[in-house]
């Protein structure tokens, strides 16, 4: 039995399915742990496979290869004094498990399986895994250590069982994605366990973007007495070392590094930038292109892209037509110059006019309407996709959650693109982030300091500029009103009657609900984007396209 433990946490950025790459990251962390004279090295949930592998888990060869990679890493502990706590998949006679292997001196000496399998929001683990029994502690260096896996700590009986069985320390590996206020929610849960059981709980989370999910890291430890003794970086990789010593019957630590948590104002920006960066790089792209219209959404996406990659890897294109205002041309150029990106102007005038001439016999003198407006948007999409194809850039699309909510976007036009950083941000949140970015320099950023988004873009009325003197409010309510209605219906699932009770016009509420419903087919075909709220379109909110339900709480 020992009275001293040095614990290392590898807060890293694995890639789903990249077993060789993730194994290389793990070997480097093991070498770092050996150099730091650590007793224990822990990785985040399903580290070797990446979180979450989805239907890769149905591929027998993937399971075989993942288990072999785990055994390879376990063998690397030979000749070291480090005990490896490695979350990965493991298959036995009872099925496939979300597991942790514990290895020392080159051999796996313990296996523990996740007991509580989440089956809501973005998690469908019951589709893939068999639940394990209530876990027993593992004896490491003579110390009884409980290893609840992620969801296990959200169900009190798992930690209670571990404590009854003699656990002195709880090590919790996680794959917990970010959404608003998530860091504080996690910390309060861990505090509750640490106080109730008088036990230290060390919480390790992964970092990085994986399709729509963004993992924010921010690993930490709470010691008995409700003491925060360790806090890792947010939205960045980190390697954390903490020394623990026994005082009577409890363990405590006094030398852990404490990083400042990312503020709630900065966190959405950092999440969007990290999700964008990893989506582009992990899918083999090295640079991006987007249409810069002189409006708020494209300006914010351009700034995020520069923060993610640096200005030399961002290409912005203005695509004017006869309705594009001089102010938009000026603002787009100003924004591009502030960000330091390549900026080109490609007029869509002739292609759009030629299309209208060719379509005239079919349109048969019908009055101009959305069809003509959408040709402009789709022509812009054609040009941007051509640049993407020719230069190998990933095309970014820029529609916000308010527009996507009511279908205020042109499918196969401005919805074209491989990724959308604003997909889960309401319009007023985009404005707030633009203002925040102009006043702050985000962490882990390659962009310039200062006012990168011209104030004139923030101040002017939003417009698609598809007809003379058009503004968004010609066909939509003011965005503060629209956002409140959307948040009530989409995120809070309120009845229409309850939304009206918030002070909204009944006819408007019914109209917005109808727009939400009929735009589902568009959203189903939209580019992925970072999930920043519990009810992101697509990954967090799955509604049928063909939907006959009618809310009759408003007449």
Residue 539 pLDDT exceeds 90: no
Q: Among 84, 14, 85, which Cα is nearest to 50's?
A: 14
Find the distance separating the first CA and the last CA of the chain, reported in whole Å.
Answer: 72
Query: Given 45, 76, 212, 429, which residue is catalytic?
Result: 45
Query: Given 15, 104, 114, 212, which residue is catalytic?
Result: 114
Are 287 and 393 contacting, i.e. CB atoms less than 8 angstroms apart? yes
Residue 546 pLDDT exceeds 90: no
Instruction: Report the alpha-carbon angle 39-43-45, nearest 5.
Output: 145
Specify binding-site residues for ATP: 291-298, 398
Q: Among 310, 313, 312, which Cα is nearest to 287's?
A: 313
Give residue 119's pLDDT band: very low, low, confident or very high (50, 70, 90). Answer: confident
Query: Given 15, 76, 116, 150, which residue is catalytic?
Result: 150
Tell me if residue 114 is catalytic. yes
Residue 463 pLDDT exceeds 90: no
Say how far residue 67 (Cα) sits from the centre of its chain.
Answer: 27
Tell me the helix, strand and coil percentages in the chain, rounded to 5: 40, 20, 40
Specify binding-site residues for L-glutamine: 176, 182
Q: pLDDT: is 107 or 544 the higher one?
A: 107
Specify binding-site residues: 176, 182, 291-298, 374, 398, 403, 522
Q: What percent of the chain has pLDDT over 90?
A: 86
DSSP state of 297: H
Specify binding-site residues for deamido-NAD(+): 374, 403, 522
Pick the CATH number of 4-253 from 3.40.50.720, 3.30.420.40, 3.60.110.10, 3.40.50.10140: 3.60.110.10
* Start-end of H helices in 40-132: 60-75
- How far is the C-alpha of 103 from the C-alpha of 421, rounded, in Å? 40
- How far is the C-alpha of 171 from the C-alpha of 202, rounded, in Å? 5
pTM of the model: 0.94
Q: Among 403, 463, 392, 456, which Cα is nearest to 429's?
A: 403
Predicted confidence (pLDDT) per residue in 338-348, tens digit: 999 999 999 99
Considering the segment(s) 267-469 as one domain, its CATH architecture is 3-Layer(aba) Sandwich (3.40)
Predicted confidence (pLDDT) per residue in 494-535, tens digit: 999 999 999 999 999 999 999 999 999 999 999 999 999 988
Are 529 and 420 contacting, i.e. CB atoms less than 8 angstroms apart? yes
- Every domain of the chain with CATH number 3.40.50.620 lies at 267-469
- Tracing tokens 């209208």 back to the chain, one arrives at 356
Q: Can you read off the two tokens belonging to residue 324?
A: 């594009």
Predicted confidence (pLDDT) per residue in 411-456, tens digit: 999 999 999 999 999 999 999 999 999 999 999 999 999 999 999 9
Give residue 468's pLDDT band: very low, low, confident or very high (50, 70, 90). Answer: confident
Residue 464 pLDDT exceeds 90: no
- How far is the C-alpha of 300 from the C-alpha of 291, rounded, in Å? 12
The mean pLDDT of 57-62, rounded to a whole number, is 97
- Every domain of the chain with CATH number 3.60.110.10 lies at 4-253
DSSP 351-419: HHHHHHHHHHHHHTTPPP-HHHHHHHHHHHHHHHHHHHHHHTPEEB----HHHHHHT-S-TTTTT-SSB
Residue 380 pLDDT exceeds 90: yes
The mean pLDDT of 43-71, rounded to a whole number, is 96
């Amino acid at each position: 039995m020992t009275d001293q433990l040095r614990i290392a946490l590898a807060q890293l950025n694995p890639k789903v399915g990249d077993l060789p790459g993730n194994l290389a990251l793990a070997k480097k962390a093991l070498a770092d742990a050996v150099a730091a004279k650590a007793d224990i090295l822990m990785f985040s949930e399903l580290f070797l496979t990446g979180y979450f592998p989805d239907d890769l888990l149905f591929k027998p060869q993937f399971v075989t290869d993942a288990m072999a990679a785990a055994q390879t890493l376990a063998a690397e502990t030979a000749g070291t004094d480090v005990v490896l706590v490695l979350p990965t998949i493991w298959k036995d006679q009872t099925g496939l498990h979300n597991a942790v292997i514990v290895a020392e001196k080159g051999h796996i000496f313990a296996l523990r399986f996740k007991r509580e399998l989440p089956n809501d929001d973005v998690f469908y683990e019951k589709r893939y895994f068999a639940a394990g029994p209530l876990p027993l502690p593992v004896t490491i260096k003579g110390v009884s250590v409980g290893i609840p896996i992620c969801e296990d700590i959200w169900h009190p009986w798992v930690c209670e069982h571990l404590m009854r069985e003699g656990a002195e320390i709880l090590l919790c590996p996680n794959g917990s994605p970010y959404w608003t206020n998530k860091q504080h929610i996690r910390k309060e849960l861990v505090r509750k366990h640490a106080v109730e059981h008088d036990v230290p709980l060390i919480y390790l989370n992964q970092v990085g973007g994986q399709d729509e999910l963004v993992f924010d890291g921010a690993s930490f430890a709470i010691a008995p007495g409700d003491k925060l003794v360790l806090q890792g970086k947010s939205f960045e990789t980190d390697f954390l070392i903490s020394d623990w010593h026994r005082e009577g019957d409890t363990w405590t630590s006094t030398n852990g590094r404490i990083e400042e948590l990312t503020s709630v104002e900065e966190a959405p920006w950092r999440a969007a930038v990290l999700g964008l960066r990893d989506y582009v790089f992990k899918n083999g792209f090295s640079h991006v292109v987007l249409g810069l219209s002189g409006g708020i959404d494209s300006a914010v996406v351009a700034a995020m892209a520069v923060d993610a990659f640096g200005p030399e890897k961002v290409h912005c294109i203005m695509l004017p037509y006869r309705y594009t205002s001089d102010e938009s041309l000026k603002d787009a150029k100003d924004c591009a110059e502030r960000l330091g990106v390549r900026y080109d102007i490609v007029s869509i005038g002739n292609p759009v006019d030629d299309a209208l001439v060719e379509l005239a016999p079919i349109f048969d003198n019908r009055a101009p309407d959305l069809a003509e407006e959408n040709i402009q948007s789709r022509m812009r999409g054609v040009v941007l996709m051509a640049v993407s194809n020719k230069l190998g850039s990933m095309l970014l699309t820029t529609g916000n959650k308010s527009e996507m909510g009511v279908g205020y976007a042109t499918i196969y036009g401005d919805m074209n693109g491989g990724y959308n950083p604003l997909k889960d941000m309401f319009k007023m949140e985009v404005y707030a982030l633009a203002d925040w970015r102009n006043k702050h320099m985000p962490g882990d950023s390659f962009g310039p300091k200062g006012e990168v988004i011209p104030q004139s873009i923030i101040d002017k009325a939003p417009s698609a500029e598809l007809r003379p003197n058009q503004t968004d409010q010609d066909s939509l309510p003011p965005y503060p009103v629209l956002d409140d209605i959307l948040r009530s219906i989409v995120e809070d699932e309120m009845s229409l009657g309850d939304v009206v009770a918030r002070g909204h016009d009944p006819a408007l509420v019914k109209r917005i609900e109808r727009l939400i419903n009929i735009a589902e087919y568009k959203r189903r075909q939209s580019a992925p984007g970072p999930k920043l709220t519990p009810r992101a379109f697509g990954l967090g909110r799955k509604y049928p396209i063909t939907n006959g339900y009618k809310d009759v709480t408003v007449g």
